[in-house]
Amino acid sequence: MDKMKKEILFSRKAIDLRVRELAAGISRDYQGRELIVIGVLKGAFIFMADLIRSMTIPCRVDFARLASYGAGSVSNGKVILTKDIETSIRGKDILIVEDIVDTGVTLSYFVEWLQERNPRSLRVCAFLDKRGRRKVTFEADYVGFAIEDGFVVGYGLDFDEKARFLPDVYIMKD
């Protein structure tokens, strides 16, 4: 990681502005309703913390962790829930917060998993969206930034558990 070249894709200032814009929209959409925000670990925790601190409505928080296993960094499309939520969501408004939508496979699986628990509503907020890599049809309801193909790190996104702490988002270069 240290030897790899990277360049800033989104600065902390741009991220902060976009997170506040998303929070304002979510706060408007859920005004007067009880919202449960479910973060997908590990990548979304920084984005989610900033997002809920910028919202003007109260919310409850929970977390889930999913893994898609394959060779190296390539998913084989099989998704496993390794940490389930602990909150009952029946009849509640749910917002899933994810760091990045790539193939759409993991989030499609998780949305279906949660829909079986009969929430009142279920939406997805993704920090980054790589639409060009979709393997299944999936659209997030709220998107921070749309990006082209490329490997990104920082602001919760990692490479082999490294670089999550970086306050900006970087794209890795050859």
Residue carrying structure tokens 């628990």:
117
pTM reported for the whole predicted model = 0.92
Q: Could you give the strand order of the β-sheet that contains 35-41, starting from the edge strand earlier in sequence?
A: 78-83, 59-69, 35-41, 93-101, 121-129, 142-146
Please tell me the predicted confidence (pLDDT) of residue 74: 54
Q: For 113, which DSSP code?
A: H
Q: Which residues are known to be catalytic? A: 102
State the CB neighbour count (10 A cutoff) for residue 57: 16
Residue carrying structure tokens 């790899």:
4
Q: For 133, which DSSP code?
A: G
Encode pLDDT of 75-108 as tens digits. Answer: 566 889 999 999 999 999 999 999 999 999 999 9
d(CA 126, CA 145): 8
For the chain, how many structural domains are there in total? 1
Please tell me the predicted confidence (pLDDT) of residue 73: 53
CATH number, domain with residue 124:
3.40.50.2020
Encode pLDDT of 11-50 as tens digits. Answer: 999 999 999 999 999 999 999 998 999 999 999 999 999 9
Give me the domain span that covers residue 103: 5-27+34-173
- State mean pLDDT over 45-64: 98
- State mean pLDDT over 49-63: 98
What is the residue-averaged pLDDT of the chain? 92
Q: Does pLDDT of 71 surpass 60?
A: no
